Chains A and B, each alone.
Chain A
Amino acid sequence: MITSRISDWVESRVGGRSVIHAAMRKVFPDHWSFLLGEVAMYSFIVLVLTGVYLTFFFVPDAEQIVYQGSYNALNGIEMSRAYESTLRLSFDIDGGLLIRQMHHWAALVFVAAVFAHLLRIFFTGAFRRPREINWVIGLTMLLLAIVNGFAGYSLPDDLLSGTGLRIAYSIAESVPIVGTRLAGLAFGGAYPSAEIIPRLYTLHILLVPVLIGVLLSVHLALLVRQKHTQFSGPGRTASNVVGTRLWPGFAAKTVGLFFLVAATLALLAGLAQINPIWLYGPYHPAQVSAPAQPDWYMGWLEGALRLFPGWETRAFGFEIPNPFFPGVLLPGITFTALYLWPFLEARFVGDHEIHHLADRPSDRPWRTAIGIGVLAFYGILFIAGSNDILASRLHLSINAVTQTLRALLFITPIIAGYVAYRLTSERGRQKLKPRRVSVSQTSDGGFDTEE
C-alpha cells in the first residue's frame, strides 16, 4: 500500500515511527463534555479558513469614498473603503455573503465553545494540579478570542461597530495617569483616527490568530503529555485513562465532529442573517443606532457599563472617570481571579495533590456554589446589556428595568449560589449512602455494575 511505502520511506530517513505509533494509541475519554474543547478548536479552524477567503476581498482602509454599487439604498452615500468593500463582498461576490456570515457565526460559536469548555473544566476541578498551566493557557486563549472577536466585528466600519470603537477609546482614556497616552498610542492619535481600521486588521488577521495557534499547540501538547482527566467509574481510576484510541476510532469520530461543526456553521450562515451592516449604515461620529448591542461575549461588559451608577472620583483636578470601574477594573478583576483560581483553591483547601479524576459538581458543593453564583452575576450583567430592549418589550421604563437589574445583580448570585449549594450537597449526601451493587466481569475484561 502507498501509505506503508511512504511510512517506510520516512522511517528510513527520520525515524520516529514508535512515537507515531504511541500517539495513535492515545486514549480519549468518551464523556460528551470532552467534546466542548474540540468544538472550539474546529470553530477556530473554520475561522481561519473562512477568514483567509475574506482577506482577499476586504480593504482595511478608512479613506472616504462615495458608494456606487449594487445595494441601491446606500448609493451616493459617503463611506470608508472598509465599509464599501464589505458591501461588495456581501452583494457582488458569489458566495461572499455566505462565507462572511459563516465567519461571524464561527466567531460566536468559538467563544461560546471556549466558555463552555472553561465551565466544564471549572466544575469538574480539571484545573487542579498538574493541569494549572493548561488552565492559564486556555484562559489566555479565551481572552484573545474575545479581543479578536471585537477587533473583527469592528473592521467593517459600520455605525454599530464604530460606536463600539468610540466606547473602547473612552475606556482606554479612562485609565488613571496613562489613559490618554494609551488611547493615543492604540488608536493613532485623537479620536476619530483613520489609523484604527488598518491596525485592527493586522491584529485580527495576523498577531492574535498566530498567538492563538501557538497557544493551542502547547495546550494540545500538554494534554497529550499529561493525558486526559476522566470521571471515576468501574475500571476507571486515577492511574489510567479509559476510552477510545486515537487510531482509528477517535480519529474518525473527531474528524466527523469537525465536519458537523462546519455543517452547523454553514447552515447558520445560509439561513440566519448576522451583522447586516448595510442596515446600520456607515460609521459617522455624530450618528448612533439604537438599540445597539455588541456580539454576545461583550454583553457582560456592555451591561456593566449600563448598570454602573453615575459616579466618578475627582480630587485635586485629577479624576478617575466612570467607565474605568466597569470597563477596566471589572474585567481586570474577573480575569485575574480566573487566572489565580487553581492556586487560590489549592491554597484555601490545602490540596496540593495530583488529581487525574474529574470531580462531579456534587463532590465539591462549595466550588459549585461559587461557580453558579459568579455565573449568575455575569448573567445579570449580560441581560443588562440589553436593558433598553427589555424595557421596550416589557413596556417598562428604562429606569425601572435598570434599577431592578442593579438590585438583582447582588441578590441573584447569593440565591443562585445558595440553591446550588443545597442541591449539590444534598446529592453528595445521597451518594455517600451505602448502595447494594453487584459487580460482574464482562467477556472483554471490563466490569459491569448493577444496582
Chain B
Amino acid sequence: MRKPSAVGASFALGAAGGIGLIASGILNLSTQFLGVMLAIALTGIGVGLVVFAHQLRDGDATEERHEFQSEPPVETPVSDRARRSFLRGLTAALGALVIGLAGPLRSLGRDPTPALKSTSWESGMRLVNSDGHPIKAGEVTQGSVVTVFPEGHIGDAMAQALLIRVDPATLDPDRAGWAPDGHLVVSKVCTHAGCPVGLYEAQRNQLLCPCHQSTFDLTNGAKPVFGPAARPLPQLPVAIDDQGWLIATGDFPEPVGPGFWDRGR
C-alpha cells in the first residue's frame, strides 16, 4: 500500500469535516459544533490545495514586461465648430434632464426643518412616563430621574424629556417659574449628536450622554461642562395644575437636539 500523502490526508480531513457537518444538520447540534465542522471541512480542502501547490513548484517562473502599444486614433470628420455646437446642445439637454429629475428626487424625503424647530409639547399637556402614567408633583424625589413625554405622544423621539427633582435654590432665578418646587424638566436629546442623554449622576447633579460623554450641569442651566456638546439642554417650562399633575406651559423655548444650519433663524 502506498504511503498516504499530506495532500490526501488533508482532503480526508476535509471530507470528515463535511460528514460532521451533515451529522450536525441531522442531529440539530449547536452553532459551535456546526462552525467547527464547517471550518474543518474548509481547512481540509484549503490545506490540501496549498500543499499541492507547494509540491508543484519547480523553481521561479519569469515573465517579461512589455510596453503598451496602441493603434493611432481614427480621424474624426467633424469640424471644431460642429463639435462645439454638438457638445453645447448635448450639455443643455442633459442639464434639463437632471433638473427635471429633481422632482422625483425630492419625494425621497421632506425637509425635516419644521420637525426640528418645534416638538409636540403644548401648553397644558400633562407629563407622562414611558408607561403613559401622568406624574404628580412630589412623586419624584430628589436625586432621581424620570423620562417623560407629552400625554398622547409616548416614545416621541424629539419631545422626550427628563424630569429631575433638584434643590430649587440651585435653579436659574430668571426661570424661577419654570420648575415649580424644583421639578426641573430638560430635553433628553443631546445637543451634540442627538443620543438620549441617559445617565444621571445624582451626586454632582450632572447628566451624561453615553454616546460621546457630553456632560450637562443641572445646577447651572443644563450647560455643557465637558465633552463635545456646545449648547445646554433646552428646558421645558412646567407647572403644577390644580389637581397636582405636572403639566407643560409651552414648548421648549428653542429647537431641541443637535444643531443645524439655520437653527437660530
Contacts and interface: CB of A to CB of B under 8 A. Distances in A.
B160 A286 contact: yes
B264 interface: yes
Interface string A252-264: 1101111110111
Nearest to A321: B259
Contact of B196 (A189, A227, A285, A319): A285
Contacts of A321: 230, 258-260, 263
Contacts of A446: 59-60
B61 A27 contact: yes
A286 B195 contact: no
Given A192-B157, A286-B130, A249 B57 contact: yes
Contact of A319 (B56, B106, B263): B263
A381 B60 CA distance: 44
Interface centre among B47, B58, B61 (most CB of A within 10 A): B61
B39 A189 contact: no
B50 interface: yes
Contacts of B108: 184-186, 188
B265 A255 contact: no
B195 A312 contact: no
A36 to B, nearest CB: 16
Interface in A116-156: none
A189 B110 contact: yes
Contacts of B226: 310, 398-399, 402
A135 B226 CA distance: 41
Interface stretch (B25-33, B78-86, B91-99): B25-33
A412 B234 CA distance: 38
Given A166-B193, A181-B111, A98 B42 contact: no
A245 B53 CA distance: 11
A270 interface: yes
A356 B198 contact: no
Contact of A287 (B113, B198, B229, B262): B198
Contact of A288 (B43, B46, B196): B196
A323 B229 CA distance: 9
Nearest to A25: B63
Contacts of B64: 239-240
Contact of A290 (B40, B149, B198, B265): B198
Contacts of B42: 259-260, 262-263, 266
Nearest to A186: B109
A317 B259 contact: no
Contacts of A288: 195-196, 198, 210-211
Interface residues on A, range: 35 or more
Contact of B260 (A174, A253, A387, A398): A174
Contact of B155 (A169, A178, A285): A285
Contact of B38 (A98, A243, A244, A310): A98
A252 B36 contact: no
Contacts of A255: 49
Interface string B238-265: 0000000000000000000111111111
Contacts of B213: 306, 387-388, 398, 402
Contacts of B63: 25-27, 227, 240-242
A235 B62 contact: yes
A270 B46 contact: no
Nearest to B214: A310
In this complex, the member of A167, A235, A239, A314 whose beta carbon has the largest number of chain B beta carbons within 10 angstroms is A167
A271 B211 CA distance: 29
Given A179-B260, A322-B230, A398-B213, A256 B65 contact: no
A175 B31 CA distance: 44
Contacts of B61: 25, 27, 242-245
A69 interface: no
A308 B40 CA distance: 47
Given A181-B111, A258-B46, A319 B259 contact: yes
Contacts of A166: 193-195
Contact of B199 (A174, A195, A290): A290
Contact of A183 (B112, B160, B188): B112
Given A97-B31, A185-B105, A191 B195 contact: no
Contacts of A289: 210
Contacts of A240: 62-65
A417 to B, nearest CB: 27
A323 B192 contact: yes
A266 B111 contact: no
A243 B60 CA distance: 5
B158 interface: yes
A382 B173 CA distance: 43
B115 A190 contact: yes
B235 interface: no
Interface string A287-320: 1111110000000000001111111101001111
A180 B39 contact: no
A167 B47 contact: no
Contacts of A314: 264
Contacts of A451: none
Closest 10 A/B residue pairs (Cβ): A270-B35, A321-B259, A256-B49, A259-B46, A290-B210, A190-B115, A285-B157, A263-B42, A260-B46, A256-B50
Interface of B: 25, 28, 31-36, 38-43, 45-50, 52-54, 56-65, 105-106, 108-116, 130, 147, 149, 155-158, 160, 188, 192-196, 198-199, 210-214, 224, 226-231, 257-265
13 contacts: A163-B211, A173-B112, A185-B106, A188-B108, A189-B110, A191-B115, A193-B109, A241-B62, A242-B63, A267-B39, A284-B155, A310-B214, A314-B264
Interface of A: 25-27, 30, 94-95, 97-98, 101-102, 163, 166-167, 169-171, 173-181, 183-193, 195, 227, 235, 238-245, 248-253, 255-260, 262-264, 266-271, 284-292, 305-312, 314, 317-323, 326-327, 356, 387-388, 398-399, 402, 444, 446
